[in-house]
Amino acid sequence: MTGVINDAISKLARSSVKAITPYASARRSISGTTAATWLNANENALATEYQVAGEFNRYPDCQPAILLQAYANYAGVASNQVLISRGADEAIELLIRSFCEPKQDSITLCPPTYGMYAISAQSQQVNTNIVPLTADCQLDLPAILATKPKLVFICSPNNPTGNIIPQAQIITVLEHYKTSALVVVDEAYIEFISQSSVASLLKQYPNLVVLRTLSKAFALAGLRCGFTLANADVINALKQIIAPYPLAEPVVQIACQALQTDAINEMQQKVVVINQLRNNFIDFAKGLSGIKKVWPSDANFVLLQVADATHLIKALQQQGILVRNQSNQLGLAEVVRVSIGNAEQMQNLQQALQNYFNLQESI
């Protein structure tokens, strides 16, 4: 898929759609590659096998009660505070479509951060207030509070910087916008940290929305299953426009299996393994003189600043290893993001990095 629209269709397509640069998803940007080591999409390499049963001649439930309850139990909220969607990505789009008037309202974003907030806003002709993170990757509170958005997106742990945003900062934003905007805290990577989720603040803050996914710690990126946690009024507003059958029956079956107690325990054990591999990788990367900066991380990925990100990425790709360039993100010149794979993949990556920098030094 190239994103190019030919002449005849171009006359029909909305100008706001033509203006969009599609999200360069990890899959889209390297489609067709034969690489073996995928460390570019923050997926979880430690997969589990699931079984699907039954017949599929009937339309599925829009919001199956059994899955709502399973996720509510896992997240410690009530089932009427949960919406299930095709990944967290669909939830981002539903929030913008439900709460923002095109050409009138705005959302506030804090880059460098996840790219889909801006793309979803642009596709709905919703304006964006850009308030960069501070030099130490925290929220610039005075600048955020000076904006008048309908939605504020806060990603914690933040993709791609890997740090959490302190709850005290989030509470300041929630308080300020208590009656004027929703504060959307994207917790796609929450399982990788031990600190508690902001979901416990839902009782106090009717304007809080929390995004979750099975794509990361649960190792189910291919399933496309995400969750929105919010008070029932917000959930009901999203239900107004959600597709009639957003969740395929096999998705629901697998998601329910992934949320059983044993499966959650297994997921948590895998998180321990991944976090250990991440910490080992950070130590290793800090020891390589060719790496200028290694960011700390509370998630399953690590940022590295090098002399020439494009050159390094090509060299790794030639060895079948895919990592992601972040150089087009605000403040991240010559920065690559490495997702944490399994032990063997991390060993291959470390060997490849060692060889690359040894060669660079000898030139």
Ligand X SMILES: Cc1ncc(COP(=O)(O)O)c(C=O)c1O
Binding site for ligand X (CB under 6 A): 42, 87-89, 114, 155, 159, 186, 188, 213, 215, 221, 226
Q: In the complex, what is the shortest distance from the CB of residue 278 to ligand X, in angstroms, rounded to a whole number?
A: 16
Q: How far is the CB of 72 from ligand X (least distance, A)?
A: 18
- Phi and psi at 144, nearest 5°, equal -65, -45
The residue among 155 and 208 lying less far from ligand X, judged by its C-beta, is 155
Q: Report the C-alpha gap between 260 and 74 in whole angstroms.
A: 9
Looking at the Cβ atoms of 153 and 356, the one nearer to ligand X is 153
Which of residues 72 and 299 has its CB atom nearest to ligand X in the complex? Answer: 299
Least Cβ distance, residue 10 to ligand X (angstroms) = 29
* In the complex, residue closest to ligand X by CB: 87
Measured from the CB atom, the residue of 64 and 87 that comes closer to ligand X is: 87
Which own/partner contact pairs does 53-58 have at CB distance under 8 Å and 24+ positions apart? 53/253, 54/249, 54/253, 56/249, 56/250
Least distance to ligand X, CB of residue 358, Å: 32
- Between residues 188 and 258, which has the closer beta carbon with respect to ligand X? 188
Residue 362, C-beta contacts closer than 8 angstroms, at least 6 positions apart: none
The angle subtended at Cα 221 by Cα 129 and Cα 275, nearest 5°, is 85
Shortest distance (Å) from residue 160 CB to ligand X? 8
Shortest Å distance, C-beta 133 to ligand X: 14
Instruction: Report the residue number, 37 or 215, with the smaller CB distance to ligand X.
Output: 215
As a whole number of angstroms, the distance between CA 95 and CA 121 comes to 10
Element (H, E) at 38: strand 37-38
Strand ranges of the sheet holding 335-339, from the earlier edge strand across to the other edge: 293-294, 301-305, 335-339, 324-325
97: Cβ–Cβ under 8 A, 6 or more apart, which residues? 124, 241
Least separation in angstroms between residue 189's CB and ligand X is 7
User: What is the spatial distance between Cα 348 and Cα 66, in angstroms, rounded to a whole number?
Assistant: 42
Q: What 3-state class would DSSP assign to 104?
A: coil
Torsion of CA 219, 324, 288, 359, to 10 degrees: 130
| Closer by beta carbon to ligand X, 212 or else 270 | 212
Distance (Å, whole) CA 357 – CA 344: 20
Strand-pair category, 293-294 with 37-38:
unpaired
**Shortest approach of ligand X to residue 334 CB, angstroms?**
21
Instruction: Specify the residue, 210 or 352, whose C-beta has the smaller distance to ligand X.
Output: 210
